[in-house]
Structure 1
Amino acid sequence: MDYYNLARGLHILAVIAWMAGMLFLPRLFAYDAEQNAKPEPLRGEMQALLRLWQTRLLRIIINPAMILAFVFGGWLLWLRSGDGADWSFAHQPWMVTKLVGVFLLAGWHGFLAGQRKKIAAGTSKYSGRFWRMTNEIPFILAIVMVLSVTLEWAF
């Protein structure tokens, strides 16, 4: 069996799920923030529903998908190294770029998870405009990471 292609396929599927959630969660935050301008009876019901969706999206899709992306990504690194024998590729500019992108995306994930708690507590300071403006951060990181890995560029 071709384990490298299996790991790569599973990694791509996990990343797709992770990215889908990471692109949708800020949109839910924007909708939630915009409810503050509405009168209480309407705002309370809609915010409760949005916050339920935020929690479920994070716990059921985004967190497990990130874990699987890391597991399958680690497996890919191990297979690429020849079962741990040659890690020279890890120092190449394309791989360093990919790993920095992964670190930044995981950091954004952590920021979003922390903000979900603040939104639930009613202490978030960010507006719907902020969430719309930052909504594409995961996609921009994905572009850089995918092109780095597929092109394996060097200086």
Structure 2
Amino acid sequence: MYLYIKALHIIFIVTWFAGMFYMPRLFIYNAETADKPEAVRQALREQFGVMMKRLWYGITWPSAVLTLVLGSTVWYLLGVTPQWLVIKLIFVAGLYGYHISLHIIFRQQQRGIFKYSSQQLRIWNEVATIFLVAIVILVVVKQSLSFVWGIVGLLLFVIVLMSAIRIYKYLREKKKGNKA
């Protein structure tokens, strides 16, 4: 029974992350409609609103809840709390905090409030990736992972990710400049 619950936990982690990866993309596309003519902007925002509601309430939230329930069950059935699991749970708590932040942005955009630029949302979009890398490496490597090397590796990953975002922004701006 333990392995079936663990398998379901992993499946709902995957669907939860799918929602958290795609939702900020929809935020970005929705925010970028500000440059469009009014009729186009209105039509796109209505469409993105429907897509976001379906994704958020149909996939992402249910997956987050099932991940929590099944993960808690796996932890209970495991019967112990090794040190790596404590660290993982700290990252998971951060991930739920990130999830809540996406919910806040979702609610704002549903009300027509756009507080963040598409560039800021692009950066925020990568936070889930950082949590994913940290949690998966921690779960797979467990005790053999040096805490110091783990932090150094995670920081290097964040630097590479943020550099990639800057390069992408530079290339987009360069492409826009060539079209003008």
Tell me if TM exceeds 0.5: yes
Alignment correspondent of 1:41: 39
Overall identity of the aligned pairs, in %: 32
Matches within 5 A, 1:35-114: 35-81=33-79, 87-89=80-82, 92=83, 94-114=84-104
Query: How much has 1:73 moved relative to structure 2?
Result: 0.3
Maintained 8 Å contact 2:75/2:81: no
User: Are the structure 2 counterparts of residues 88 and 133 from structure 1 closer, same or farther at C-alpha, using a change threshold of 3 Å?
Assistant: closer
The residue that corresponds to 2:142 in the other structure is 152
**1:24 counterpart letter in structure 2:** Y
Look up the SS of the partner of 2:34 in the other structure: helix
Name the structure where helix makes up a greater proportion of residues.
2
**Where does residue 84 of structure 1 map in the other structure?**
none
Distance in 2, Cα, partners of 1:111 & 1:134:
10
Aligned mates of 1:103, 1:80 — CA distance in 2: 19
Contact 2:6 2:70 in 1 (8 A): yes
Partner of 1:138: 128
Q: 1:47 to 1:71 in 2, by over 3 A?
A: same
For residues 99-143 of structure 1, the C-alpha deviation after alignment (integer angstroms, 9 at most, x for no partner) is: 011111111111111111111112221011111122121121011
Aligned to 1:17: 15
C-alpha separation in 1, matches of 2:27 and 2:8: 29
> Over aligned residues, Cα RMSD in angstroms?
1.2
- CA displacement at 1:35 relative to structure 2: 0.1
Q: Distance in 1 between matches of 2:25 and 2:101?
A: 15
Q: After TM superposition, where is structure 1 displaced by more than 3 Å over at least 4 residues in a row?
A: none
Greater mean deviation of Cα atoms: 61-70 or 143-152: 143-152
* Corresponding residue SS for 2:143: coil
Residue equivalent to 1:128: 118
**Please, which of 25, 28, 33 is the counterpart of residue 26 of structure 2?**
28
Of structures 1 and 2, the one with the larger relative CO (CA 8 A, separation 6+) is 1
Query: Is the partner of 1:150 in helix, strand or coil?
Result: helix
Question: Amino acid of the residue matched to residue 105 of structure 1?
Answer: L
Report the 3-state secondary structure (helix = DSSP H, G, I; strand = E; otherwise coil) of the residue aligned with 1:152.
helix
**Residue 59 (structure 1) shift:** 0.2
User: What is the TM-score of this pair, normalised by structure 2?
Assistant: 0.77
Displacement of 1:39 in angstroms is: 0.8
